[in-house]
Amino acid sequence: MSRFVTPRIAPSEITDEKHFWDRRTWLATVGAGLGALAYAPKRLSAQTQDTPTPYDTITGYNNFYEFSTDKEAVRELAANFRTTPWTVSVEGEVKRPKKYELAELLRGIPVEERTYRHRCVEAWSMVVPWNGVSLAAVIRKLEPTSKAKYIEFTTLMDPERMPGQRRGILQWPYVEGLRMDEAMNPLAILVTGIYGRPVPAQNGAPLRLVVPWKYGFKGAKSIVKIRFTERQPVTTWALTAPDEYGFYANVNPAVDHPRWSQASERIIGRFGRKETLPFNGYAEQVASLYRGMDLRVNF
Ligand SMILES: Nc1nc2c(c(=O)[nH]1)N[C@H]1C(S)=C(S)[C@@H](COP(=O)(O)O)O[C@H]1N2
Ligand SMILES: [Mo]
């Protein structure tokens, strides 16, 4: 899987956070020279300046109900989860419906480094240096038809390999979705790595969605199906508890969850809380997508 992680710097060169920061320092140091243009990973202006959460915390505190509802148990339960071979079925309103081997799906699309705030609907947050590909680039490659108004993502269904699926906690498989214009926003990515290493199973290997202005549950893990649809997808959490989890799920400090406030968030791996920002701090990039919508109704 390492070939999907970072294209220009071998993962073997980046073995821990210290090296990650050394590399950043190096990039900043040589940044003045022309040579750096060729080597620096493409950065988006939206990238947060917040301090990234340590690797061990990001990969040791996980919501992945297919393995367990105990966040600290997922890492161990997912330790032997095999992600090769991996097939992603592309279906629905698309030029060529087809089953892709993962490498084929991502071929030709550059892997970028995107450090994003990650805000769970449970009112905790992290800052994650993801590696991944632009979802828009993948969609352009797949060529949806003019009827495609939404995109749906489905997680692997395999109770033998995912012990949590032997219990009816949710209606499996886990399904999430976006409106097509949301999916085409440059902030939306399909993640293949964290801190320059292949994304671990507990974080959604080998391919998971990240939509940083929305609550974390929109980011379906271990994706095996991408379907383009005319109708709004029926998504797992909105189906399970429609009063608590909407289809849009944009981070919004003004709309509380029925059972807790969304005004602030607990910072995992650090002390204290911080104020939650509208659209998780990405309003400048995405607020226009929702112009004219009542975000209390479409929560
Ligand atoms: N398939 C699947 N995807 C999922 C979940 C899940 O239980 N199953 N949990 C979601 C929730 S609630 C969050 S907050 C994020 C957690 O991602 P992380 O473990 O990488 O922090 O994954 C999301 N994607
Ligand atoms: Mo979450």
Q: Which residues contact 225 (CB under 8 A, 6 or more apart)?
A: 88, 89, 90, 91, 152, 153, 154
Neighbours of 115 (CB within 10 A): 20
Residue 221 Cβ contacting ligand 1 at under 6 Å: yes
Q: Where does the pLDDT of residue 42 fall: very low under 50, low under 70, confident under 90, or very high at 90 and above?
A: low
Helices marked H in the chain: 17-30, 35-39, 55-58, 74-77, 102-106, 135-142, 180-183, 236-240, 283-286
Q: How far is the CA of 151 from the centre of ligand 2 (A)?
A: 20
pLDDT for the residue numbered 48: 77
Region of poorest pLDDT, from 32-46, 143-157, 178-192, 280-294: 32-46
Residue 43 above 80 pLDDT? no
Residue 225 above 50 pLDDT? yes
Q: Where does the pLDDT of residue 266 fall: very low under 50, low under 70, confident under 90, or very high at 90 and above?
A: very high
Residue 276 Cβ contacting ligand 1 at under 6 Å: no
Q: Where does the pLDDT of residue 90 fall: very low under 50, low under 70, confident under 90, or very high at 90 and above?
A: very high
Considering the domain boundaries, does residue 284 fall inside one? yes
Residue 120 Cβ contacting ligand 1 at under 6 Å: yes
Higher pLDDT, 42 or 110: 110
The mean of the pLDDT values for the chain is: 89
pLDDT for the residue numbered 10: 39
Q: Where does the pLDDT of residue 20 fall: very low under 50, low under 70, confident under 90, or very high at 90 and above?
A: low
Nearest of 65, 246, 72, 262 to residue 167 by alpha carbon: 65
Residue 33 above 80 pLDDT? no
Q: Which amino acid is at 69?
A: T
CA 9 to chain centre: 22
For residue 174, give the ligand 1 atom closest to its CA.
Answer: 1
Residue 275 above 70 pLDDT? yes
Residue 201 above 50 pLDDT? yes
Nearest ligand, CA 219 = 1
Looking at residue 257, which CATH number applies to its domain?
Answer: 3.90.420.10
For residue 118, give the ligand 1 atom closest to its CA.
Answer: 21
pLDDT for the residue numbered 17: 55
Residue 199 Cβ contacting ligand 1 at under 6 Å: no
For residue 237, give the ligand 1 atom closest to its CA.
Answer: 12
Considering the domain boundaries, does residue 75 fall inside one? yes
Residue 29 above 50 pLDDT? no
Structural domains counted in the chain? 1
pLDDT for the residue numbered 193: 98
Of all protein residues, the one whose alpha carbon is nearest to atom 12 of ligand 1 is 217
Structure tokens at 37: 């243009």
**Burial (Cβ within 10 Å: 0-12, 13-18, ≥19) of residue 178:** buried
pLDDT for the residue numbered 46: 73
Q: How far is the CA of 71 from the centre of ligand 2 (A)?
A: 11
Residue 112 Cβ contacting ligand 1 at under 6 Å: no
Considering the domain boundaries, does residue 299 fall inside one? no
Residue 66 Cβ contacting ligand 1 at under 6 Å: yes
**pTM greater than 0.75:** yes
Helices marked H in 4-157: 17-30, 35-39, 55-58, 74-77, 102-106, 135-142
For residue 64, give the ligand 1 atom closest to its CA.
Answer: 7
Considering the domain boundaries, does residue 295 fall inside one? no
Structure tokens at 254: 């003004």
Considering the domain boundaries, does residue 297 fall inside one? no
Considering the domain boundaries, does residue 175 fall inside one? yes
Nearest of 139, 138, 161 to residue 148 by alpha carbon: 139
pLDDT digits (tens, 9 = 90+) for 149-192: 999 999 999 999 999 999 999 999 999 999 999 999 999 999 99
For residue 61, give the ligand 1 atom closest to its CA.
Answer: 19
Considering the domain boundaries, does residue 5 fall inside one? no
Phi, psi of 119 (to 5 degrees): -120, 115
pLDDT for the residue numbered 44: 62
Considering the domain boundaries, does residue 92 fall inside one? yes
Q: How far is the CA of 29 from the centre of ligand 2 (A)?
A: 37
Of all protein residues, the one whose alpha carbon is nearest to atom 14 of ligand 1 is 216
Structural domain boundaries enclosing 47: 11-289
pLDDT digits (tens, 9 = 90+) for 119-130: 999 999 999 999
Structure tokens at 204: 């959604």
pLDDT for the residue numbered 169: 95
Percent of the chain whose predicted confidence (pLDDT) is above 70: 85
* Dist. CA 183–CA 233, nearest whole Å: 13
